[in-house]
Amino acid sequence: MDGAGRLKLFRGLLEEAHRVLDLPFGFELWDGSTVPADLPSYAMRLVIRHENVVASLVRRPNFDTVLNAYVSGLLDLRNGTLFDLAAQRPQKAGRRLRTISKLTALKTAYHFLRAPADMPRPLSRVEEDPNAREGKPQTNKKNVAYHYDVSNAFYGLFLDPEMVYTCAYFQPDWHDDLARAQKDKLDMICRKLRLTPGDRLLDIGCGWGALICHAAQHYGVKATGVTLAEEQARLAREKVARLGLQDRVEVMVKDFTQMEGEFDKISSIGMFEHVGIRNHPAYFQAVHRLLRPRGLYLHHTIARRAKRSERAFRKLKPEYKALTRYIFPGGELDHLGMSIANLERFGFEVHDVEGWREHYQRTTRLWWENLSARQKEAEAMVGKEKTRMWLLYLAGCSLAFERAAVGVNQTLVSKRIRGPSGLPPTRADLYA
């Protein structure tokens, strides 16, 4: 069968699927035709730019094939966003699709199996490292460099002016001022840690230095930030010098397990996701070793929902596997119960847990909007493929937080000792 015959078969199958699912959006095929045929020009549609996409999906019906098609631009969305598409997804689609003619589906699949399937696979260039979660300092640095050393300018396209790449804090309402929300987040962290002038603060995974500079400027602490990303450290040191904080702020490129000294307060804001579950004991032991007795530690991390068993929890969905391969090599999320158990197991007393899931949903949505608005600039910096991948990643994160598939928690603990913790009797002052 030639290409015209395959196109006719596929269009017929799509028309039946569109009718059965009662889809509110349509499709645009590689010859310019649409499904349904009378689809208005302004209507949202999923664009399939080449029959090779269909042939590839028939041969490899998996998430990676869809990702490669999208990243390479052969699968696209017109007159709408990924958020619009997610909002219009059909309910109980699997059950309804079973009513489609199996003969038509098999006939279409058979003929596309015989069609060329040489679709570009740009993501195949990213090799999966079986040792990504081994926890060795050199491997950790390689993982971090892959994600953060893209370029500081690229991150500047969508982050706030202080370059804070973690969950913002929106208060007293759900506003859209990302810069304000990030400053409020930095201040909330400092208040939760009860920072006072002269405190020695260690920020594990300090990023571009926003928190350590804020804490030194507004709370009078002596702050040390550690990161494994050379590009981050360079920009953070420039910021420290620009603000005249060299006598109070130090930025180190060093693995946290190799840190020495004793600190009054320690923060880890969005870094723990990089550690890997089997390396959690070494992580918590290092934090305990570095924190003085009664010292406070703020553990801020993304977490998945707990499952009925740890075995079920370790079973990962395709989109999660793609995230850890193409965006965060070595990354691994625990669940809140696992973090709490480990904190207690390794010598900490838990004082407070606060869920910020909806804050991160809004943060990642605003990041996506910022990057979308400057997409052409991003493409000039890092290429179309990487830009499309990042837009997909940010949208996917926002949707995952919206649906409560993942959450983010701030857990305040102290280094456990007998007797009073030294904390006030209520948290009222934090929200005054």
> Do 163 and 42 share a structural domain?
no
> Do 157 and 97 share a structural domain?
no
For residues 130 and 213, the model is more confident at: 213
In a domain, 27, yes or no: yes
CA distances 91 to 42, 129, 133, 406, Å, are: 24, 37, 37, 21
Among 69, 94, 124, where does a domain finish? 124
Task: Please answer whether residues 290 and 275 qualify as being in contact, where contact means their C-beta atoms are separated by less than 8 angstroms.
Answer: no
In a domain, 258, yes or no: yes
Structure tokens at 20: 């059965």
> Do 253 and 375 share a structural domain?
yes
In a domain, 334, yes or no: yes
pLDDT at position 98 over 90: no
* pLDDT band at residue 91 using 50, 70 and 90 as cut-offs: confident
Q: Which of 405, 391, 408, 406 is nearest to 85 (CA)?
A: 391
384 burial via Cβ count (<10 Å: 0-12, 13-18, 19+): middle
What predicted TM-score, i.e. pTM, was given to this entire model? 0.92
Task: Please answer whether residues 344 and 297 qualify as being in contact, where contact means their C-beta atoms are separated by less than 8 angstroms.
Answer: no
> Do 149 and 59 share a structural domain?
no
> Do 189 and 82 share a structural domain?
no
Residue 329 CB coordination number (10 Å): 22
Please report the pLDDT score of residue 131 as a whole number.
Answer: 61
Least confident of 116-130, 345-359, 381-395, 418-432: 116-130
In a domain, 131, yes or no: no
Q: What percent of the chain has pLDDT over 90?
A: 77
> Do 345 and 406 share a structural domain?
yes
Among 124, 151, 180, where does a domain finish? 124
CA dihedral 201, 205, 210, 213 (to 10 degrees): 30
User: Is 190 marked active-site?
Assistant: no
* pLDDT band at residue 116 using 50, 70 and 90 as cut-offs: confident
> Do 266 and 172 share a structural domain?
yes
Note the pLDDT tens digit of each residue in 287-332: 999 999 999 999 999 999 999 998 899 888 888 788 778 877 778 9
In a domain, 132, yes or no: no
In a domain, 26, yes or no: yes
> Do 156 and 95 share a structural domain?
no
Please report the pLDDT score of residue 140 as a whole number.
Answer: 66
| DSSP 8-state code for residue 335 | B
Strand ranges (DSSP E) for 205-321? 222-227, 249-253, 263-269, 291-304
Domain count, the chain: 2
Report the CATH number at residue 182.
3.40.50.150
> Do 336 and 211 share a structural domain?
yes
Choose, from 190, 206, 213, 397, the residue flagged as catalytic.
397
Task: Please answer whether residues 250 and 206 qualify as being in contact, where contact means their C-beta atoms are separated by less than 8 angstroms.
Answer: no
Q: What percent of the chain has pLDDT over 70?
A: 95
Helix axes 318-326, 63-71, angle to 10 degrees: 50
361-382 in b/e form (b: 16+ CB < 10 A) is bbbbbbbbbbbbebeeebeebb
In a domain, 59, yes or no: yes
In a domain, 129, yes or no: no
Note the pLDDT tens digit of each residue in 120-148: 888 877 766 666 565 677 766 665 666 66
Domain span at residue 113 reads: 3-124
